[in-house]
Structure 1
Amino acid sequence: MSSGRNTATRDRHRRYVARGKPPCGLCGSEIDYTLPHLDPGEFVVDHITPLALGGEDTLDNKQAAHRRCNEIKGARATEDVGPIQAPRLFVTARRW
């Protein structure tokens, strides 16, 4: 079953949202746009009103978010979620 989303549109919207390197729309903290895929602090695009709740897959319904913040929000509208704390970033490598 297809979700009806267009991957070319998705990628274009992702580039547009990331262009200004905005902070997370859910916790308000800065996003490290260089983090690798699946890192809790990486940049993802969040639907302000989720598609599951009738939101549209349009640019004006999207915002930058940390992966972890977006996971906490789930399929709830942004205004229905209380304050979210920024993901904790841990040092995994040191340079001496």
Structure 2
Amino acid sequence: MSRVSRNTTIRDRHRTQLARTKPPCAYEHCLFPGEPIDYDAHHLDPKAFQADHVIPVDAGGPDTLANKVPMHRACNRHKWKSLPGDDTGARVYETDRTW
């Protein structure tokens, strides 16, 4: 599994643009239905703002504003690498180990 290098300047610009109008969480299975994202919360707070890639970069999605949506931190962690339409929210762990 390879790590994708991302430009932090672009990341910060996209975060600012997404947060400008303080939109609600975009996760269809939101863990806090009806509760707004706390755009001023500490970054580790479950209701804090995170920009999520709709199609994960690891799955070939572009690191563009058009591929990013706002989410609660907890929702983003729950969604993880799920693709649109995948409602399982399950994480897939890869390892080089043989059992």
TM-score category of the 2 structures, normalised to the smaller one: 0.7 to 0.9
Q: Which residue of 1 aligns with 2:67?
A: 61
SS in 2 for 1:80: coil
Percent identical across equivalent pairs?
A: 47
SS in 2 for 1:71: helix
Pick from 35, 38, 42 the counterpart of residue 32 of structure 1. 38
Q: Which residue of 2 aligns with 1:47?
A: 53
SS in 1 for 2:6: coil
Q: What is the number of residues matched between the two proteins?
A: 83
RMSD: 1.9
Gaps of 5+ in 1: 84-96
| CA offset digits 1:12-47 (Å, max 9, x no partner) | 000000001000000264211111120011000000
When normalised by structure 2's length, the TM-score is: 0.75
Q: Greater share of helix residues, 1 or 2?
A: 1
When normalised by structure 1's length, the TM-score is: 0.78
CA distance in 2, matches of 1:81, 1:47: 16
Q: Which residue of 2 aligns with 1:89?
A: none
Gaps of 5+ in 2: 90-99
Task: Point out 4+ residue stretches in structure 1 off by more than 4 angstroms.
Answer: none
